[in-house]
C-alpha cells in the first residue's frame, strides 16, 4: 500500500514539475500577435464600433505592426505615427492580451496623465479581460483586502500589468519591466516632477531585459516638438503602398500634389467641395480610383521602408494617414468636408482646425508660422571677420554668460549705431561653477580674466567689457550671486529671465540681500529681471534681416563648422491651447541646445542696462572719438607720411566705474552689546 502511495506522490510531483517547466521554461511562442488576435481577441461594445471577434483583414495594415511585437521577432522598438481612429491603440491592446496569454512578464502601459490611465484601464483593459475567454481566468479576481487586481495593476500568472500616468515620476520608476506600451506620447509633459523626459524615464525601466519590447504610439503634433516624429525619424520610416486597381502599380496614398495625382474633387457653385465627386488619381496611369476599391487595395498593400534605421533590425516605424481608413469608417467625402472647413477658418485667422486636420487626418506634424529662422540661412550669410577683434562699427562691448552644471558658456557681443551687432567671441569655460573664484580650477577665475583683458579694436585701441550679464535662473544660483556680488562695481549683473509677453528687456531690479530684520541692504546685490520673450522676438526679427545696417546681426564664418548657429535658432514660437484659448509660447525641441541664444539675449540685456536703447548720434560720436578717433582713416588711401614718423595711437584706459554713493550719516546711536 505504501509503494502505491509513493508512486502516486511521485507522479504528482513529476506532473507539477512538467507543468512548471512548460509554463516558465518554454521557448518563445511561435504564434504571432495577429494570429492570437484573430483566434482569441473579442472586441467590447464599450470601446469598439464593431464589437465581436477581432478580424485583422479589416485593418490589414496593422498585421506587420503586431507581428513585430511577437516573441519570435527581433524588433525591440516599434513606432506607430498614425492618424486618429485607425486602430493603432487596438494593436497595442492585442499585444497586451498576447503577453498575458502567451509570453507573461512585467508590463507597463503609460498614458499622458494618471486620470487618463485610470480611464484607459476601466474602458479598455477591463472589458478586454472580461470578454476575451482566453484572458478571463488569467488575471486574478479581486477579493476583499487583496490588491492583486486594482484599477492600475493587474496581476497574472508569470507577470504583472501596471498602468501609469506620464505626469507621475514615481509611477514611471516604480518597477523594472520587459514590455513597455507608451500611448499618445505627444501628449506627455515635457518634464515630469523635475526629473526629465517621461519617455526616457519609462524606457530606463526596460534596460535590464535583453528581450525587451517597446511600443510607441501617437498622432503627431507640432514639428520639432513631436516626440513621435522624432522617434519615427530614428526608424526605417515605413509607408504603406497599395496597388492601383487599374494598372496594379504600387504607390502610397497622398492627400494631393501639384503633379496631378492624389485625392481630387469638383467644386460646387459656392466654391465648396462636392463630396459625390471625390476620387483618387493614380500617379502611374492617371485613372480614377474610388473608395469602393479600398478593401482590395488594403488587402494587397505592403509596408515599404524609406530609409535605414538607427538600429537596423531593432527599430521599425510606421506612418499612416486617414486616407487608408477601412470602408465604413471615415470616408474620403468626410475628409474633404473637414479640409474645406479648416481652410475657411484659417482664412479668417483661426488655424486651429487646420492644425488638427494636419495632425489627426494626414498624420503629419504642424509647422508653426510664427518666428522662425533657419540656421543654414545664417551660415550662408556669415562674414569673414576675425574672432577676438572688434570691427570698426563696434563701439560697445558686452558679455552674456549662461551657467551650466559643468561649465560657463560665454559670448561677447559688440554693438554700434542703430543697435547693429556683431558676435565677436565665444568661450566655453569648463569646471565646477560651485568652486570659489579664488580656486585656480574655478571657471569664475577665467571669466574674470576674460572680462578684464577686454578686446582689441581694429583701430588698435583696447576696449573693455562694459557690462556682463549672468543668468541665475538655471544652475548654481548661489554661486552666481556670490560672483556678481564681488564684482558689482564692474557692472557684472545677476539676471533672471521672465517668460512673459510685453515685459521690458531689462526691468527694475529687486533686492537679493536683506538684513536679519528683512530690510534691504543699501549696497546689497540686485537681481535684474530680463524679458526673454520680448528679447527673442526682437532678436529673431533682426536675424531675418538680409542687409547690413540698423539692427543687422553680423555672424562670423569661423563658427559655421560648430553648432553655434543651430543653438542661436534652437527655439520656436508655437501655439499652445489652454482651456480653448490660443497662446504663443517659446519652446525648445527635445535634444536641442540653446546656450548661444541665451547668451545673445543676456549680452543685449547688458547693453540695455548701459542705455543702448536711448543712445542717439551725439552719444555714439563721443564713443567713437574716445575709442577710435581715426576709424575713418582705416578706409582712407595711404598717406605720404612715413610709417616710422607716425606716432602710435595711445591706449585708451577703460572707463572707470562709477563710485559708490556716499554713505549717509544718521543720528542713530551705535548699537552696543550685540555680536554681529
For the chain of 676 residues, list the mean pLDDT of each consecutive stretch of 10: 56 64 58 91 79 91 94 92 91 92 90 90 89 82 57 84 86 83 89 80 86 93 86 94 94 81 88 90 91 93 90 89 92 92 85 89 81 82 92 94 94 95 95 90 93 90 93 87 92 87 82 69 83 90 90 94 91 63 70 90 95 92 78 48 39 47 41 34
Domain's final residue, options 264, 296, 329: 329
Nearest to 492 by CA among 447, 456, 531, 429: 447
Q: Are residues 54 and 162 in the same domain?
A: yes
d(CA 257, CA 339): 15
Q: What is the CATH number of the domain that holds 571?
A: 3.30.420
Q: Is residue 555 part of a domain?
A: yes
Q: Is residue 640 part of a domain?
A: no
Domain's final residue, options 296, 329, 362: 329
Q: What is the CATH number of the domain that holds 177?
A: 3.40.50.300
User: Pairing relation of β-strands 467-471 and 396-404?
Assistant: parallel
Q: What is the pLDDT of residue 25?
A: 56
Q: Is residue 430 part of a domain?
A: yes
Q: Is residue 128 part of a domain?
A: yes
Q: Is residue 669 part of a domain?
A: no
Q: Are residues 317 and 381 in the same domain?
A: no
Do 427 and 404 touch, CB atoms closer than 8 A?
no
Residue 384 burial (CB count, 10 A): 7
Q: Are residues 452 and 575 in the same domain?
A: yes
Structural domain harbouring 560 = 376-629
d(CA 660, CA 654): 18
Q: Are residues 324 and 383 in the same domain?
A: no
**Residue 497 backbone phi and psi in degrees, to 5:** -75, 145
Domain count of the fold of the chain: 2
In which residue are the cell numbers 509611477 written?
171
d(CA 485, CA 481): 6
Q: Is residue 277 part of a domain?
A: no
- The conformational region for residue 251 under phi > 0 = left, psi -120 to 50 = alpha, else beta, is beta
Q: Are residues 103 and 46 in the same domain?
A: yes
Q: Are residues 203 and 131 in the same domain?
A: yes
Q: Are residues 524 and 451 in the same domain?
A: yes
d(CA 555, CA 546): 12
544 burial type by CB count under 10 A (0-12 exposed, 13-18 middle, 19+ buried):
middle
d(CA 142, CA 148): 7
Q: Are residues 322 and 381 in the same domain?
A: no
Q: What is the pLDDT of residue 651?
A: 44
Q: Is residue 172 part of a domain?
A: yes
Q: Are residues 127 and 215 in the same domain?
A: yes
Q: Is the dihedral of CA 181, 185, 187, 189 positive or negative?
A: positive
| All residues at 6 or more sequence positions from 258 whose CB lies less than 8 Å from its CB, including other chains | none
d(CA 119, CA 128): 14
Q: Is residue 202 part of a domain?
A: yes
Q: Are residues 319 and 413 in the same domain?
A: no
11-36 burial: b if 16+ Cβ within 10 Å, else e: eeeeeeeeeeeeeeeeeebebbbbbb
**Residue 159 backbone phi and psi in degrees, to 5:** -170, -175
Q: What kind and span of H or E run contains 123?
A: none
Q: Are residues 429 and 320 in the same domain?
A: no
Q: Are residues 206 and 64 in the same domain?
A: yes
Amino acid at each position: 500500500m505504501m509503494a502505491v502511495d509513493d508512486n502516486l506522490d511521485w507522479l504528482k510531483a513529476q506532473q507539477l514539475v512538467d507543468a512548471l517547466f512548460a509554463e516558465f521554461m518554454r521557448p518563445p511562442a511561435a504564434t504571432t500577435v495577429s494570429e492570437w488576435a484573430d483566434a482569441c481577441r473579442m472586441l467590447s461594445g464599450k470601446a469598439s464600433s464593431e464589437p465581436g471577434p477581432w478580424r485583422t483583414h479589416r485593418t490589414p495594415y496593422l498585421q506587420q505592426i503586431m507581428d513585430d511585437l511577437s516573441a519570435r521577432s527581433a524588433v525591440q522598438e516599434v513606432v506607430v505615427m498614425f492618424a486618429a481612429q485607425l486602430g493603432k491603440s487596438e494593436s497595442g491592446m492585442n499585444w497586451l492580451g498576447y503577453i498575458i496569454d502567451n509570453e507573461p512578464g512585467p508590463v507597463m502601459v503609460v498614458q499622458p496623465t494618471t486620470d487618463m490611465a485610470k480611464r484607459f484601464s476601466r474602458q479598455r483593459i477591463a472589458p478586454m479581460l472580461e470578454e476575451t475567454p482566453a484572458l478571463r481566468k488569467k488575471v486574478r479576481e479581486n477579493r476583499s483586502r487583496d490588491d492583486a487586481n486594482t484599477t492600475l495593476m493587474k496581476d497574472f500568472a508569470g507577470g504583472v500589468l501596471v498602468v501609469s500616468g506620464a505626469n507621475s515620476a514615481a509611477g514611471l520608476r516604480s518597477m523594472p519591466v520587459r514590455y513597455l506600451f507608451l500611448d499618445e506620447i505627444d501628449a506627455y509633459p515635457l518634464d515630469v516632477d523635475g526629473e526629465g523626459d517621461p519617455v526616457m524615464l519609462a524606457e530606463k525601466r526596460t534596460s535590464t531585459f535583453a528581450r525587451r519590447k517597446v511600443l510607441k504610439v501617437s498622432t503627431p503634433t507640432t514639428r520639432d516638438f513631436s516626440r513621435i516624429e522624432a522617434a519615427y525619424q530614428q526608424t526605417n520610416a515605413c509607408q504603406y503602398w497599395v496597388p492601383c486597381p487599374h494598372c496594379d502599380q504600387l504607390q502610397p496614398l497622398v492627400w494631393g500634389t501639384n503633379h496631378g495625382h492624389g485625392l481630387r474633387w469638383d467644386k460646387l457653385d459656392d466654391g465648396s467641395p462636392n463630396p459625390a465627386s471625390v476620387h483618387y488619381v493614380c500617379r502611374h496611369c492617371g485613372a480614377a480610383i474610388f473608395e469602393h476599391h479600398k478593401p482590395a487595395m488594403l488587402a494587397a498593400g505592403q509596408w515599404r521602408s524609406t530609409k535605414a534605421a538607427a538600429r537596423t533590425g531593432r527599430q521599425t516605424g510606421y506612418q499612416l494617414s486617414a486616407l487608408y481608413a477601412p470602408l465604413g469608417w471615415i470616408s474620403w467625402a468626410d475628409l474633404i468636408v473637414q479640409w474645406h472647413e479648416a481652410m475657411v477658418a484659417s482664412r479668417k485667422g483661426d488655424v486651429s482646425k487646420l492644425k488638427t486636420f494636419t495632425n489627426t487626418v494626414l498624420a503629419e506634424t504642424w509647422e508653426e508660422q510664427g518666428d522662425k529662422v533657419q540656421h543654414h540661412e545664417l551660415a550662408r550669410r556669415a562674414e569673414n571677420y576675425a574672432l577676438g577683434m572688434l570691427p570698426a562699427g563696434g563701439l560697445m562691448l558686452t558679455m552674456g554668460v549662461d551657467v551650466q552644471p559643468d561649465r560657463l558658456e560665454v559670448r561677447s557681443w559688440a554693438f554700434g549705431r542703430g543697435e547693429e551687432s556683431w558676435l565677436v567671441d565665444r568661450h566655453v569655460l569648463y569646471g565646477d561653477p560651485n568652486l570659489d573664484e579664488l580656486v585656480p580650477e574655478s571657471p569664475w577665475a577665467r571669466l574674470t580674466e576674460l572680462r578684464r583683458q577686454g578686446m582689441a579694436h581694429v583701430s588698435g585701441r583696447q576696449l573693455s567689457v562694459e557690462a556682463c550679464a549672468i543668468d541665475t535662473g538655471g544652475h548654481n544660483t548661489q554661486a552666481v550671486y556670490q560672483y556678481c556680488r564681488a564684482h558689482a562695481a564692474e557692472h557684472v549683473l545677476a539676471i533672471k529671465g521672465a517668460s512673459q509677453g510685453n515685459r521690458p528687456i531689462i526691468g527694475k531690479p529687486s533686492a537679493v540681500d536683506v538684513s536679519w530684520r528683512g530690510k534691504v541692504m543699501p549696497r546689497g546685490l540686485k537681481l535684474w529681471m530680463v524679458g526673454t520673450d520680448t528679447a527673442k522676438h526682437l532678436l529673431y526679427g533682426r536675424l531675418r534681416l538680409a542687409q547690413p545696417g540698423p539692427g543687422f546681426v553680423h555672424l562670423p564664418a569661423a563658427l559655421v563648422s560648430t553648432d553655434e548657429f543651430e543653438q542661436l535658432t534652437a527655439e520656436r514660437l508655437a501655439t499652445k491651447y489652454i482651456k480653448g484659448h490660443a497662446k504663443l509660447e517659446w519652446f525648445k525641441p527635445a535634444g536641442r541646445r540653446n546656450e548661444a541664444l541665451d547668451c545673445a539675449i543676456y549680452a543685449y540685456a547688458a547693453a540695455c542696462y548701459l542705455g543702448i536703447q536711448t543712445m542717439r548720434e551725439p552719444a555714439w560720436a563721443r564713443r567713437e572719438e574716445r575709442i577710435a578717433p581715426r576709424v575713418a582713416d582705416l578706409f582712407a588711401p595711404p598717406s605720404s607720411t612715413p610709417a616710422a614718423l607716425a606716432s602710435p595711437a595711445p591706449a585708451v584706459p577703460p572707463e572707470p566705474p562709477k563710485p559708490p554713493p556716499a554713505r549717509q550719516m544718521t543720528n542713530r546711536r551705535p548699537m552696543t552689546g550685540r555680536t554681529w
